[in-house]
Amino acid sequence: MVGKSMTEVILRRENLRFPFPDNFANRIKGNKVESIRRRAKYLLIDLEDGQIILSHLGMSGRMVIENRGHSNVPGQFVLEKGMHDVHEHIVFEIDTGTTIRFSDPRRFGMMLLTTTCEFSSHKLIRHLGPEPIEDEEFCNGEVANISPNSALDLLYPVVATFAILFEVAEISA
């Protein structure tokens, strides 16, 4: 898919977990894929025009890759998938003849668009911490240099939230 162009994008519904962005299919169609990467639980597809497809499979989503009639489905599934699953919501056709089908029976998955410039401030991305494998803070051991006070400042809201939840659970039990 990297280095190839999307010749067709077919949306079979108006939304998944979130509505698709305006003109989603037209904004992607004709674009060359620059790279495919991940950030936390998100699959990112960088396009040549600076857009990024921000996607998530949700709990039940999957992508099926078909190369001119031959289907490669990662993993073992109890039921075979038909050629055009009723839960198949997005179809990407690539200039090599490859088709990528996104299916999600529960529709907890999503596909949004952002740009390279806006990516790090996107509402779904901005709260994420550093990537343990990719970010230099981890690679250079700089995370170990965080002062105990600043670490406590970061953890306190989480610990306080759990303490409140435990108190509510004890009261209601």
Provide the pLDDT for residue 142: 55
Provide the pLDDT for residue 79: 45
Q: What is the distance between the alpha carbons of residues 41 and 107, in angstroms, rounded to a whole number?
A: 16
CA atoms within 13 A on the CB side of 93: 10
Whether residue 73 contacts residue 64, with contact meaning beta carbons closer than 8 Å, is answered with yes
Provide the pLDDT for residue 78: 44
CA angle 8, 101, 112 (to 5 degrees): 75
Whether residue 16 contacts residue 104, with contact meaning beta carbons closer than 8 Å, is answered with yes
Provide the pLDDT for residue 87: 78
Q: Identify which of 52, 40, 43, 60 has the alpha carbon closest to the alpha carbon of residue 109.
A: 60
User: What is the architecture, at CATH level 2, of domain 6-121?
Assistant: Alpha-Beta Barrel (3.20)
Whether residue 5 contacts residue 32, with contact meaning beta carbons closer than 8 Å, is answered with yes
pLDDT less than 50: residues of the chain: 77-79, 81-82, 168-169, 172-173
Provide the pLDDT for residue 164: 55
Could you give the maximum distance between any two Cα atoms of the chain, in Å? 61
Q: Where are the domains of the chain?
A: 6-121, 136-172
